[in-house]
Amino acid sequence: MPNLVPKTWRRRDTLAFAAGALGFSALSVPNWANALPVTAPRRAALKNLHTGDAFNDVYFENGRYLPDALAEAQRVLRDWRNGEEHFMDPGLFDALHAISEKLETRAPFQIISGYRSPKTNAMLHARSKGVASNSQHTQGKALDVRIQGVDLANLHKAALAVGAGGVGYYPVSNFVHVDTGRVRQWRGA
């Protein structure tokens, strides 16, 4: 198994991964995720538009997260500008799974932005007021996505219905931001 703990990880990131790999207890699972079946397999389908990398596999099975699958999905979601990887919150994959279920689609989420290193995020923040200085992307808790063949407004509604965290709607830029931070919503360009 590859080393999944970069030197820059904080202790809580490691603990979060360990909890995910071993299977969350009911106390550590966010309320919205309690609606997901505990033993049913969960699949994520991802296509990074910048690198061409893809992931389409089961990441949760028999009541536990699969570390090798999470590591591969993490690789697909790396900062495409510099190749840096970071621990990705398994709850993010649960949110995508729940959104796919609501939309009744197996089409992959097209990834516009996954993990962003602090350096990348600072550069983007300097260029645009729409990029938060302390973005959830830098914490491995956010994705900017769309799904080919799914109306962006419908993707936005499904993400809001899941209630996993923050949801940003960017109709001009053609993506929806999904994160596992506190529940909130906004509209961007």
DSSP per-residue string spanning 7-67: TT--HHHHHHHHHHHH---TTTS-GGGGGS-SSS-EEEEEEETTT--EEEEEEEETTEE-H
Which tokens hold the place of 101? Answer: 């279920």
How confident is the model at residue 26, as a pLDDT?
35
What is the tens place of the pLDDT at every residue in 1-33?
344 444 344 334 544 554 544 444 333 455 566
DSSP per-residue string spanning 147-165: -TTS-HHHHHHHHHHHT-S
CA distance 90 to 19: 10
What is the tens place of the pLDDT at every residue in 97-121?
999 999 999 999 999 999 999 999 9
Sign of the CA dihedral 16, 76, 178, 66? negative
What is the tens place of the pLDDT at every residue in 38-91?
779 999 999 999 999 999 999 999 999 999 999 999 999 999 999 999 999 999
Strand 42-48 versus strand 54-61 pairing type: antiparallel
Domains of the chain, start order: 11-187 (3.30.1380.10)
- Residue type at position 187: R
Q: How far is CA 181 from CA 103, 137, 151, 173, in A?
A: 22, 10, 25, 22
- Residue type at position 45: A
Sign of the CA dihedral 127, 132, 133, 135? negative
How confident is the model at residue 125, as a pLDDT?
85
In this prediction the pTM is 0.82
Give the residue-averaged pLDDT of 156-166: 96
